[in-house]
Amino acid sequence: MNLRKLILTNNACYKAGRTITPQGIMLHSTGANNPWLRRYVGPDDGLLGVNRHNNHWNQERPDGRQVCVHAFIGRLADGSIATYKTLPWNHRGWHCGRGPRGSGNDTHISVEICEDNLTGAAYFRRVYNEAVELCVYLCGQFSLTEVDIISHSEGFRLGIASNHADVMHWFPRHGKIMDSFRADVRKELAERAAPVPAYEIYTVVKGDSLWKIAAARLGSGARHPEISELNALSSGTIVAGQKLKIPK
């Protein structure tokens, strides 16, 4: 993940200063064929590039609207993909309107993915993976899981957002739906939670002995019984090419 920060301090949403306790993450996409972050995030920080129309969202009411999100994902000026944090994560955003059961603005962190023309497979894959990594990071920050991630369109069906199609007008074109997105986040969360082995692997070379390996790797040849025990060795005989677990 290429996470950067440029808080939209001139936006009326930021100035409102309201906070939330994040209970979920809502995915959005911009609905416009413009994958460049500079369209929404500004001013130029040397990486974004110059928005010559000056219509980014770091102003009171962008395009005359009350809108602001927590993060944008899209292209930098050099074509690489990045995430820009544009509001503090616990700030109340203006991203999904409301429905009969309330508003996701009060509960959800908003992530906006910059769209291209919806057909670019390479671009989609890169921003999709960036979004997965961001959601994994946010889940870790706020004790969330993949089940707490929804799209704007799902928010509408849940009664907490306005009637928008994102991201389901885009994801299926590339073989993805929100269930597969959540599955990818779940997989990443599980991999990161897996215990780190308490050993490293060493390949025996000619002339090695358990004493020599312990002296070199553990600081004392007298610790060779630890290697024997970890590898369930019944004797001190080892051969070149043999793989041994060495305690960390």
Q: How confident is the model at residue 170 (pLDDT cuts 50, 70, 90)?
A: very high
The pLDDT tens digits of the residues spanning 114-166 come to 999 999 999 999 999 999 999 999 999 999 999 999 999 999 999 999 999 99
The pLDDT tens digits of the residues spanning 174-195 come to 999 999 999 999 999 998 887 8
The pLDDT tens digits of the residues spanning 51-101 come to 999 999 999 999 999 999 999 999 999 999 999 999 999 999 999 999 999
Are 205 and 173 within one domain? no
What's the number of CA atoms in the CB half-sphere (13 Å) around residue 120?
A: 14
Are 69 and 189 within one domain? yes
Are 239 and 166 within one domain? no
Q: For residue 83, what is the domain's CATH number?
A: 3.40.80.10
Domain range for 209: 199-247
What interhelical angle do 121-142 and 178-193 show, nearest 10? 50
Are 187 and 206 within one domain? no
Are 139 and 237 within one domain? no
Contact call for residues 53 and 41 (beta carbons, < 8 A)? no
Are 178 and 68 within one domain? yes
Are 12 and 86 within one domain? yes
Among 151, 113, 136, 111, which Cα is nearest to 189's?
136
Are 117 and 233 within one domain? no
What's the number of CA atoms in the CB half-sphere (13 Å) around residue 62?
A: 22
Are 34 and 62 within one domain? yes
The pLDDT tens digits of the residues spanning 196-223 come to 778 999 999 999 999 999 999 999 999 9
* Helix extents (H) in the chain: 12-16, 121-142, 152-158, 178-193, 210-218, 224-230
Per DSSP, the residues of 53-89 read T--SS-SSSGGGS--B-SEEEEE-TTS-EEEEE-S-T
Q: How many domains does the chain have?
A: 2
Are 85 and 182 within one domain? yes
Are 46 and 14 within one domain? yes
Show which of 154, 170, 193 is a domain's final residue: 193
Confidence check: pLDDT of 111 > 80: yes
Q: For residue 208, what is the domain's CATH number?
A: 3.10.350.10
